[in-house]
Amino acid sequence: MKTVSYFLCLVLATLLCQCVTPINPDVRSLPPALVVDGLVTDQPGKNRVSMSFTADYTSTSLNFVAEKATVFVTDNANQQTVFKETSPGFYQPDSSWRGSTGKSYTLHVRLSDGREYQSKPELLKPVAPIDSIYIEFNQQLKLGSDAYDKGFDVYLDLKDPATPDDNYRWSWVHYEPLVYCDVIRIPTCPGCAIYQEYGLTCCTKCWDIIRYQNLINISSDNAINGNRISRRSILRAPFESYEPYYVEIEQQSLTKEAYTYLSAVKDIVQNVGGLFDAAPATLTGNISSVTQPDELVLGYFGASAMIIRPLYIDRSKAPVTPDIILAPPPQPPPTSCAKCEESQARTSKAPKWWKF
């Protein structure tokens, strides 16, 4: 009986293997497209151009950065400003340079292979001032949990000018002071495969730079021209410590074209993913190829006036206790320290309005 059962299992396994037909989808391979994200503002240190190439569908990599390019902007008086590569694929002018309201700016790019690109001119429009910023502590039950989501909601008010076609974008940058700049793993005993993580103290003062992510917070005055914009939600600061929370709030002007582009991007990001959603269309911006006019180029080069307001959130006055995130213990003697590595996400330079 066992022999019969074994034979039947063998036959069934053979049939199953023979019934599986491998599917080799006919995937169309598209050439990499240049992606540009550029901005000129009237604030020093807030001007940048980042460039990358889209990865092929069959590639396991993320977008490839566009290195060793020649990048510069010209204004309507034909004054040229060079943007130097400060990190792979990231280009900035001299830290003291800034744009001027009322001027138009055009981006020019020449890649290392000789291909050239140019944006349409973008007008740097003025932006209305921020009237007030206020903070409200709020806690809500997390979905499907007995735990609470605790945080500080930040809002702002402003008075929109009576002129039409005023468009706005809001963003923020948080600087988190660090105790540890790295971690080290030490075996719990000689020859053990179990490790304990210890924090390496920063050799100098150091901050993590945390920017808004995947957030397109924009508005137009089409429906409220000349009236107030009230309780505009800007961010939610986490309640993970009693330490002050430092954040710089940015309010930018947008041209009508930039607002239209960002609105389309926002719709694609927020509305795609459901069963009956339409497939996202390729969204082109205001940049085109000079050498190959039919080439697909993605992204946008914008010009914005910017108002920056620092904000300190006193988290010690919250009516409940914070959700403290435990850090690893410090390194046991003999101790060493870790360097604060300068990058887009970390700096040893104190924020402009830091006062602690």
- In the chain, domain spans: 34-347
Contact by Cβ (8 Å): 157, 233: no
Contact by Cβ (8 Å): 29, 56: yes
Tell me the HSE value of 114 on the side-chain side, using a 13 A CA sphere.
2
- 119 pLDDT higher than 70: yes
Q: What is the pTM of this model?
A: 0.85
Tell me the HSE value of 49 on the side-chain side, using a 13 A CA sphere.
34
Query: What's the chain's average pLDDT?
Result: 89
24/206 Cα distance (integer angstroms): 51
Confidence of residue 21 (pLDDT cuts 50, 70, 90): low
Contact by Cβ (8 Å): 248, 209: no
Query: What are the tens digits of pLDDT across the range 204-255?
Result: 999 999 998 778 999 999 999 999 999 999 999 999 999 999 999 999 999 9
216/263 Cα distance (integer angstroms): 8
Q: What token pair was written down for 154?
A: 């930040």
340/202 Cα distance (integer angstroms): 6
| pLDDT for residue 7 | 45
> C-alpha angle with apex 170: 163 to 238, nearest 5 degrees?
150
Contacts of 276 (CB under 8 A, 6+ apart): none
